[in-house]
């Protein structure tokens, strides 16, 4: 009986070992599948995060470009205003200068006109006083520059 019971016990133990080995293999397979799933989820999450990061970078670049364009427009407007102001001031200065030149020209022309009106032509038959003739002769001989 001892031999029989040992055989039965051995069979039971072998059966238990096989079931344990089967369970161990199943557990390993489950663990391997779980690890594969975790890696797959990790990769998916990583790609999702990278996609979000790319989108955010694109949005940031777009915002920066829009900001730069806005700032460039503002600077252009300021420069245009400065140029307009300078052109106005130059125009007023030019107008003042032209008015002064016109006034000078008018004045010189009017002086010439008054000189022409004041100068009297001597009469052809006019008699010059002898004292006047002496004075005129004396002026011809003198050196000018006094």
Give, for all 146 residues of the chain, the pLDDT tens digit.
Answer: 577 888 899 999 999 999 999 999 999 999 999 999 999 999 999 999 999 999 999 999 999 999 999 999 999 999 999 999 999 999 999 999 999 999 999 888 888 777 666 655 655 655 556 666 666 666 655 555 54
Q: How far apart are the first and last CA of the chain?
A: 170
Cα 98 from Cα 91, distance rounded (Å)? 10
Cα 14 from Cα 8, distance rounded (Å)? 10
Sole residue written with tokens 């009469």: 123
Q: Which two tokens mark 103?
A: 């006034």
Cα 109 from Cα 135, distance rounded (Å)? 32
> Would you give the DSSP letter of residue 144?
S
- For the chain, what's the residue count? 146
């Amino acid at each position: 009986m001892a031999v029989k019971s040992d055989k039965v016990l051995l069979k039971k133990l072998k059966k238990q070992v096989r079931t344990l080995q089967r369970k161990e293999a199943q557990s390993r397979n489950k663990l391997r599948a779980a690890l594969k799933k975790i890696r797959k989820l990790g990769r998916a999450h990583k790609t999702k995060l990278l996609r979000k990061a790319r989108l955010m970078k694109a949005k940031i670049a777009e915002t920066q470009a829009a900001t730069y364009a806005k700032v460039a427009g503002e600077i252009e407007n300021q420069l245009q205003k400065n140029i307009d102001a300078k052109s106005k001031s130059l125009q007023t200065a030019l107008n003042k200068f032209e008015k002064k030149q016109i006034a000078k020209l008018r004045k010189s022309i009017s002086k010439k006109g008054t000189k022409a009106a004041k100068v009297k032509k001597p009469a052809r038959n006019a008699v010059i006083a002898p004292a006047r003739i002496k004075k005129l002769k004396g002026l011809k001989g003198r050196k000018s520059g006094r």
